[in-house]
Each structure stands twice: as C-alpha cells, then as structure tokens.
Amino acid sequence: GVKISEADPTIQSVGLGGRPDKDGHVTLDACIMDSQGNAGSVAYLQDIKHPVSVARKVMELTDHVMLVGQGAKSFAITHGFKEENLLTEESRTAWLKWKKKLGKKDDLGPNDDHDTISLLAQDSIGNLAGACTTSGLAYKIPGRVGDSPIIGAGLFVDNEIGAAGATGRGEEVIKVAGSFLIVELMRQGYAPQDACKEALGRTIGRHDGELAFQIAYIALRKDGEIGAAAIRKGFKYALSSGNKNKLHSVKGIIN
C-alpha cells in the first residue's frame, strides 16, 4: 500500500525524502480508517519513516484517534519503530536552493499539483478501508498540519456508504470537510464522480478568479463505483482490481 511510497526516497511528498518545512525538518502526517469506523492518526511526526503504520498502532492499541509531535514520536519508538533521518541529500539540496531564493514575505514552497497519497480499498466481501499519508506542503511554516491526518477532511470511510480521500491544498480541504462531505453526498444519492465535483464546487465558489492551488478527490461507493475530480489538470489516480492496474488522468474543472 502507501508504505511503498513512504519508503521511496525519490518520492518527495511522503515519508523518507519528503520535502522539509521552512527550517529543514521533515514532518509527516497520516491517518487510517477501517470498515468498523475505527480510526488512527498522527501529525507533525519526525524521524519515523512510516507514519501510516504508527497511525494504525494508534487505532489498534489505544482509545485515542490522533497523536501529534513529540508524543507521536515517543509512542512510535515505544512500539518498535526505528528512528532515522528522513532528510535525503536531494531534498536538502532543493530546500537550500529554495532558501536562497526566499523573499522576505515568502513562507510557502512550490505549488505542486498534489502532495498527498490517499488509498481507498474494498475487499472481496465489500468492506471498505482507507489510508492517507504525506510530508505536507513543501517548506511550510513549522507546526503546520494539513488535511491528511484529519478524519473527515483528508480521509473518511463509512462502510455502509463509501469512502473518499483528498490531495492538494489541505487548508482548503479542511474548510469544507471534503472527504466527509463526499461520503454524505453519496449517502444522499450522488454518484461518486458527482460528489467529488460538488465538493470541489464548494471550494471554487469561495474564490474569485483563477485558483492558484490544486485539490483533487477520489471516491469509492459501497457498490464498487468509483469517481474522481480535480480543480486543475495534472491529477492522476491508479486503479487496481484483481490483476489489472490502470492509471487514469482527470480533467480539471477550471482548466
């Protein structure tokens, strides 16, 4: 699942090799939900390569939902996770290059198409689950946490209805509780595709003129129907079913 990407240092949006914050620290966020409505989450986690696995431990071993910062790290180490430096030379070089160009009023990094990896899954008997993992906005203000570890924003699973996940500008996803909204729209009868578009419409409607950021959603309904939508072009999602794997491109709503 998403652990493959977390361990890949060439993927600079999650786990090992993720882009650091403004001060050069790699901080990770992740969450997980299962078919029983259980959830676990970690935010602002440092020096642990697999935040999604720590989130799972939070879900399985505690009655909490979210652990953050040093508390999350201490919990991870207590449960056998290895502490390691996540800032690769490639990410460090990119960060130093960004710092050199930084203006007095700049506090954010490059506006990439999307930074989070969201995974939705359905087993052979129809049960749903999901996971979400990210290193967050590149060169963010230290302490910033986006939508990815927030249940209902970056990820939501309701085994009776469906599941949804988000990627892109987390602040905007949080403001509309994006993933929860999509699942509730599917509950009302929206198709997954239409639910994703409606959720994006809530954000687009709050902004005048062209949006400078990207948001994309994926959705999976209980009957197996899928949907996806993005504000701008460039978003792709992978669909795996049985032995078949296919990459799908999504047209942007506004370009």
Task: Return the number of other C-beta atoms located less than 10 Å from residue 194's C-beta.
Answer: 16
Query: Is 116 part of the annotated catalytic residue set?
Result: yes
Residue 83: DSSP 8-state: B
Q: Which residues pair with 216 in a beta bridge?
A: 167, 230
Which one is catalytic: 27, 116, 167, 203? 116
Q: Which residues contact 122 (CB under 8 A, 6 or more apart)?
A: 128, 129, 220, 224
The alpha carbon of residue 241 and the mean position of all alpha carbons in its chain are separated, in whole angstroms, by 22
Pairing of strands 128-134, 66-68: unpaired
Contact yes or no for 120/165 (Cβ under 8 A): yes
Q: Which residue, 150, 219, 217, is CA-closest to 183? A: 219
Residue whose token pair is 């504000």: 231
Structural tokens at position 13: 């949006």
DSSP string for residues in 149-186: TSBTTTEEEETTTEEEEEEE-HHHHHHHTHHHHHHHHH
Give the chain's largest Cα–Cα span.
55
CB 193 within 8 A of CB 216: no
From 115, 139, 150, select the one nearest 33 (Cα to Cα): 150
Catalytic residues: 116
